[in-house]
Amino acid sequence: MARGGSSTPSIKELRRELRQNQTNPEIVLWEKIRNRQLDGKKFRRQHSFGRFIVDFYCHEYLLVIEVDGSVHNTLEARIDDAERELILQDLGLRILRFSNDDVMHHIDKVLSMISENLI
């Protein structure tokens, strides 16, 4: 339970939970970009911007990386994602989205695309 008796978890608690319960594609990508393995750039996982938590974030390049499962294929999720992206872009962030399938089956292409955006 969060402080103050609230049953709503804090953003910090949600980030911790998401880090502890990463999806397989998130684990695969994290293993490739953690510890400055990709072009010597630092990435954070489950980073928050206000009420939004992004999968991965490179502060130096204001680059957000999202890894999306099939739940993002619904019309409602696409609308929510688009609204969220607009808010994040208003903060000066750039967003790259990859499907779980891309990460699991085309990791070299994913890493190349991320690397191309570290400019």
Q: pTM of the prediction?
A: 0.85
Is residue 28 in a domain?
A: yes
Is residue 4 in a domain?
A: no
Sign (positive or negative) of CA dihedral 30, 33, 37, 41: negative
Name the domain count of the chain.
1
> Encoding tokens for residue 14?
């949600």
Is residue 66 in a domain?
A: yes
70: domain range?
A: 22-116
pLDDT in tens, 39-62: 999 999 999 998 899 999 999 999
Is residue 2 in a domain?
A: no
Is residue 45 in a domain?
A: yes
> Is-contact 25 32, C-beta < 8 A?
no
Give CA–CA dist 78/82, Å, rounded: 6
Residue 107's CATH number: 3.40.960.10
Q: Please give the pLDDT value at position 4.
A: 46
Mean pLDDT score, 52-81: 87
100 — pLDDT class (breaks 50, 70, 90): very high
